[in-house]
Amino acid sequence: MTLSRKQLVAVEDIPYYPMISRCVRRSCLCGSDAYSGKDYEHRIRILLTLFAIEICGYAAKLIVV
């Protein structure tokens, strides 16, 4: 059974939650992609509107194998 976000997240108790996202196949989630030279900074803004969240900060790390 699914629960609403109000039941899962207690902002009064813990206002910040760490999140991790992993991309595959050289897919760049945010920032500037060193491989293609494209800028994907706009993706974070889109995700903010879709999921009704706020981001305090982020760090991107590109690992090329």
Note whether residue 16 is domain-resident.
no
Note whether residue 40 is domain-resident.
yes
Helix locations, the chain, DSSP H:
5-8, 42-51
Note whether residue 36 is domain-resident.
yes
Range of the domain at 47: 31-55
Mean predicted confidence (pLDDT) in 15-36: 74
Number of domains making up the chain:
1
Tell me the per-residue pLDDT of 29-57, one tens digit each, with 9 for 90 and over: 777 777 788 887 787 788 788 887 788 87
Task: Give backbone dihedrals phi and psi of 27, rounded to 5 degrees, phi first.
Answer: -80, 125
Cβ(53)–Cβ(45) under 8 Å?
no
Note whether residue 49 is domain-resident.
yes
The pLDDT value recorded for residue 37 is 82
% of the chain residues with pLDDT over 90: 0
The pLDDT value recorded for residue 64 is 63
Output the CA–CA distances (angstroms, integers) from residue 64 to 13, 56, 58, in the order listed. Answer: 39, 27, 20
